[in-house]
Structure 1
Amino acid sequence: MRDRMKILATGMEWHEHIPGGLNQYFADYLRAMVEQGHSVEGLISGEGRPLGAPPYVRDIAEAVPALTTMKRVRSFYRGVMNRSRVSEPDVFNPHFALYAAMVGRNSLPGHVPIVTHFHGPWSLESLVEEQGRSLSKLLKLRMKRRLEQSIYRRSDSFIVLSDYFRDVLSKEFGVSGSRIHVIPGAVDTERFKPAANRGSLRAQLGIRPGERLLVCARRLVRRMGIDHLIRAMVRLSQETPSIRLGIIGDGPLRGELQELIESLGLQGNVRLLGRVGTEELVSWYQAADLAIVPTVTLEGFGLVTAEALACGTPVLGTPYGGTKEILQKLSAELLFADGSPEAIARKVAAVLNGTERAPQRDACREHVLRHYTWDKIAVRIAGAFGEAIESRKECRTYESGFKSSLL
């Protein structure tokens, strides 16, 4: 591995503007690589709003608000071309397929490898979320898939956050396992940590003595299984009337989920808290008795799982994807039998009434400190970059020698 690398990376949006797993990961990843001594430039789309971001983060929107999708793609391309000439990176590291669409292999110097962070299959996620199968929707899905395939063909290697996404990348896009590095996500454990006075914090959040608090932080889309969790609350609220569920996040299903809450008569037990800032998110994690991750498909890592555990809060989750990989290392008892409302209610009730035991709060945090801290993960990412740089150098040496032999 090279001691110091110049890294040019592209993300999506700034996490303080639009919270989400990829955006949070990208911001933390950039900071971690800088702290490891690497020279980093991260390009994001801030749409002209003040970022309040570190100097190594650049807004490709160039102070132009409300960019269309294609204008955003072109802006990322111009940004990559400009910074590639100025900073002469050792590696190009895209984190979202669409925004790397115009950056071809010939757009970069021949010695610069493309190491793609695969955060999920864009086309498959759209397929899960789209309702109906109109011709226009099917054409859009096909376009997304072809775009992903073209970008992945250009990549020298990949980083995925779980074995599950390694398998998705291989099966759906034909990428050889030898080109894929499985390196899990990580958490800022200085920010996500247990509360100094949890009782006082619960009082500040309006949690009365004796109430049991569940927290779920998810984007409000179908694959997150929020409707299953809300339906599980019918049984849970009957057995434990003092139980409360706070759902943090926003998305296209907010109206539908609010209607579901009201139709089930759960207004006194379930609240949609909407989008919150990082500090408030930490407070809800710290105050919760349990964090719930009800995702039904395409969970590549589950940053929320590691964040809640870092705050000392036990997490119960579905036995799928990255959630399963994180939780089963701590205790298989933290996994629901499946993603159904019945399985969710059964497990939560068993833990709350003491029939089953969740790990102690200090054990939850220790699990994150052992496996999911940025000081460890950044070293592994740098190793993957270094390997790609050396491989491209060897490839170019071979190509040069082969061409010389033909002269």
Structure 2
Amino acid sequence: MSTHASTQSIKSLQIGMHWFPERAGGLDRMYYTLVGALPAAGVEVRGVVAGSPRVAVDTGGAIRGFGPAAQSLPRRLMNARSALRDTLRDERPDVVSSHFALYTFPGLDVTRGIAQVSHFQGPWADESHVEGADSFGQRAKFMLERRVYARSSRLIVLSEAFGQILNARYGVPEERIRVVPGCVDVAQFDLKMTRTEARRRLQLPLGRPVVLAVRRLVRRMGLESLIDAMTRVKQKVPDVLLLIAGKGRLAEELQARIDAAGLDENVRLLGFVPDDHLAALYRAADVSIVPTVALEGFGLITVESLASGTPVLVTPVGGLPEAVRGLSKDLVLESTGADAIANGLIASFDGTLDLPDEAACRRYAWEHFDRSVIAKRVAAVYEEAIEAGPVH
């Protein structure tokens, strides 16, 4: 094995999508959390993202914003390439770490000859298709992704399920794929407060059973089935309250579904929840739920909930079961759909489902998903890629 990491730091160039404090998203949160933890694992960080000049100010110049995400696609691609070229002119890294293929692609020529690792957080083209993208756009994204992944000597996936997609859909050899789950800053979510205190802080009812879903309001998240399930849950648990945190283009449609089912007293759409309130919201809930129906590589919200001491039920989709089975297989619902969701929630409230307690949830998150743990595993993959050398 190479002794590179034990003798000197690995110099990395981290290509992200957006800067999390400026634009919220699961990929952006993981990038932000990981790059903050890598230096302690022996990895020096330089990076580029779509963002404002404030990014460089906030990171002491380590991460550069090459322009706002609202710019036209051609302008963003040109800016990304220029930022990569300028960064490489200042200092040549040992490894290029790609978290978003779109912004890696225009710089493939300027990063040639450097070992590359791709963090595969989902099939971008297929996700776009599920959400209604046209077939031409899907094909273009797919071809772009394949070019970037073909250049990578190692690829990090969030779960075995996504490793299979990377191999079967993109033709990436299994020997290049490494499974490293997503990371969270567990301390951020490990609040020293009781559920009652969290509810008082957020002005939530103290005596009602509360279910939380933190999701983008888009089609593949399964929120329609979750709302439908609440009709049955309400029959068994009349005062149940479902809180759905997140924004997206389905907001009006989901609200109409809530109203039509007569669930206006039992289901609330909270919209976007600021990061400084999110941990308290997890803590306030009796149980979280992830009702995804397609393309879920890991589900960062599963770990955020567990870090807060709140158990989380998940559908058997993608990498979700892998994220929670080590804690309890009972956290995995029998299937997707309203009936399976209703059965799981009812069982969690009537005591027939043995949910892990607060201490077990937190301990599991700390031991398996804290950013310090994951950063060391990522650093080991970078070391492998450097030893293997660039793919030509």
TM-score, structure 2 as length reference:
0.94
| Structure 1 residue 210 displacement after superposition | 1.9
1:107 aligns with 2:113: no
In the alignment, which of 11, 28, 53 is matched to residue 16 of structure 2? Answer: 11
1:311 aligns with 2:308: yes
CA distance 1:264–1:17, shift in 2 (3 Å): farther
Name the residue aligned to 2:34.
29
Contact kept in structure 1, 2:212 and 2:287, CA below 8 Å: yes
| 1:200-225 CA-partner distances (Å, limit 9, x unpaired) | 22123222232011111111111111
1:236 aligns with 2:236: no
Contact kept in structure 2, 1:302 and 1:322, CA below 8 Å: yes
Q: In 2, Cα distance between the equivalents of 1:81 and 1:51?
A: 16
| 1:138-188 CA-partner distances (Å, limit 9, x unpaired) | 111111111111221222221111101100000100100100111111121
Name the residue aligned to 2:48.
43
Q: In 1, Cα distance between the equivalents of 2:69 and 2:347?
A: 50
Name the residue aligned to 2:130.
128
| 1:246-267 CA-partner distances (Å, limit 9, x unpaired) | 1111112112111111111111
Amino acid at match of 1:77: R
Name the residue aligned to 1:89.
93
Q: In 2, Cα distance between the equivalents of 1:216 and 1:40?
A: 33
CA distance 1:291–1:171, shift in 2 (3 Å): same
Contact kept in structure 1, 2:105 and 2:148, CA below 8 Å: yes
| 1:256-298 CA-partner distances (Å, limit 9, x unpaired) | 1111111111111111111122121111001110010001111
Contact kept in structure 2, 1:47 and 1:65, CA below 8 Å: no
CA distance 1:319–1:177, shift in 2 (3 Å): same
1:376 aligns with 2:373: yes
Aligned-residue CA RMSD in angstroms?
1.8
Name the residue aligned to 2:25.
20
| 1:57-113 CA-partner distances (Å, limit 9, x unpaired) | 21111xx68311221122111111110111211111111111112122x42252x11
Amino acid at match of 2:193: A
Amino acid at match of 1:43: V
| Structure 1 residue 198 displacement after superposition | 2.7
Q: In 2, Cα distance between the equivalents of 1:200 and 1:378?
A: 33
CA distance 1:223–1:81, shift in 2 (3 Å): same
SS of 2:319's partner is: helix
Q: In 2, Cα distance between the equivalents of 1:285 and 1:162?
A: 24
| 1:332-362 CA-partner distances (Å, limit 9, x unpaired) | 1111111110110011101101122101111
Contact kept in structure 1, 2:55 and 2:64, CA below 8 Å: no
Contact kept in structure 2, 1:195 and 1:286, CA below 8 Å: no
- Equivalent pairs, count: 386
Q: In 1, Cα distance between the equivalents of 2:21 and 2:245?
A: 15
| Structure 1 residue 50 displacement after superposition | 6.7
In the alignment, which of 78, 84, 89 is matched to residue 80 of structure 1? Answer: 84
Q: Which aligned runs of 4 or more in structure 1 are off by greater than 4 angstroms?
A: 47-52
In the alignment, which of 336, 339, 349 is matched to residue 346 of structure 2? Answer: 349
| Structure 1 residue 22 displacement after superposition | 0.4
Contact kept in structure 1, 2:96 and 2:115, CA below 8 Å: yes
Q: In 2, Cα distance between the equivalents of 1:209 and 1:217?
A: 20
SS of 1:378's partner is: helix
SS of 2:17's partner is: coil
Question: Which range moved further: 7-16 or 169-178?
Answer: 7-16
In the alignment, which of 151, 154, 164 is matched to residue 151 of structure 2? Answer: 154
SS of 1:11's partner is: strand
CA distance 1:50–1:41, shift in 2 (3 Å): closer
Contact kept in structure 2, 1:93 and 1:117, CA below 8 Å: yes
| Structure 1 residue 316 displacement after superposition | 0.5
The 5 A counterparts of 1:8-407 are 8-47=13-52, 53-55=58-60, 56-61=62-67, 66-104=70-108, 106-108=109-111, 110=113, 112-130=114-132, 137-392=134-389
Name the residue aligned to 1:400.
none
Q: Identity over the aligned pairs, expressed in percent?
A: 39
